[in-house]
Amino acid sequence: MVIYGKSRGTRAVDGCIALALIVVAAVSLFPILNSVAISFSEKAAVSAGRVTVLPVDFSLANYKTLLQDRQFFASFGVSLQRVALGGALQFALTVLMAFPLSRDGKRFYGRNVYMWAVVFTMLFHGGLIPWYTTIRSLGLIDTIWALVLPGAVPVFNVILLMNFFRNLPKELDEAAMMDGAGPWYTMLRIYLPLSLPALATVTLFSVVGHWNAFFDGLVLTHSPEHMPLQTYINTLMVQPAQWEDLDPETLKTLMQTSDQGLNAAKVFVSMIPILIIYPLLQRYFIHGIVLGSVKE
């Protein structure tokens, strides 16, 4: 077998692409590294703007203060509950909608009508006010369900998984029918085990979407105990710290921290769950999104 080397032009193009990817990676990582460095730096260094990607005058004062913030951990719990409920609901509804839509018109009469209805929701939206009034009329305001139910059917994930199902060999359906398997058995025992890359991809989208969402929590929750974590962090940027009625020990700890450093610590802690989950699902991610985006 003869292997031909790359031409100079090809090597030059590969080098430019590699350089561009390095620059993009550096630009993407800088805000994260900067936030982490600020969270571990002394108040004076942060206030002076001397922190870049490495901590200056290493300190754990911001994290000691964070451990005393009850609202942060309450909101953290709300976000965990939202991810668990919302992720499970989105997974179930996505699978239950994608599988029948992946059948042809002969096996699912009216499929095209349902498909157009699904696509219509991607192109048009009723608007913010009708969305809010509908949720309020259902009595969901200031509950966990207000954060879960409105986005229970992610149309993009449905289309992604539907196309993945359609690309699986049609002989699977024929063999299942010959063995007397019904739609439920075919979906649960044949299609789902073969669709792990696509399922991992839509699960990752769901988890990240629920964890990072903040606007709906800002609009749909009124009491602090129902506020998700990202909404709470967002409010820190517009509300000054409340230092009234603090005991001397807590006040002394707060004097050693800055709002910027403390907020950076909260942002970093809020990223930890995603940083743990993403590597576990990353090996399925590219394979699932590529296969699910191609229609046969």
**pLDDT, averaged across the chain:** 83
Say what angle helices 196-212 and 155-167 make with each other, to 10 degrees: 170
Mean pLDDT of 249-258: 54
pLDDT at 2 over 60: no
pLDDT at 33 over 60: yes
Count of CA atoms in the C-beta half-sphere (13 A) of 32: 11
Domain residue ranges of the chain, discontinuous segments joined by +: 1-59, 61-296
Confidence (pLDDT) at 126: 81
Tell me which architecture the domain covering 61-296 has in CATH.
Orthogonal Bundle (1.10)
The reported pTM is 0.80
**DSSP sequence for 82-99:** HHHHHHHHHHHHHHHHHH
Rg of the chain's alpha carbons, rounded to an integer?
Answer: 25
Are the beta carbons of 61 and 253 closer than 8 angstroms? yes
Higher pLDDT, 296 or 131: 131
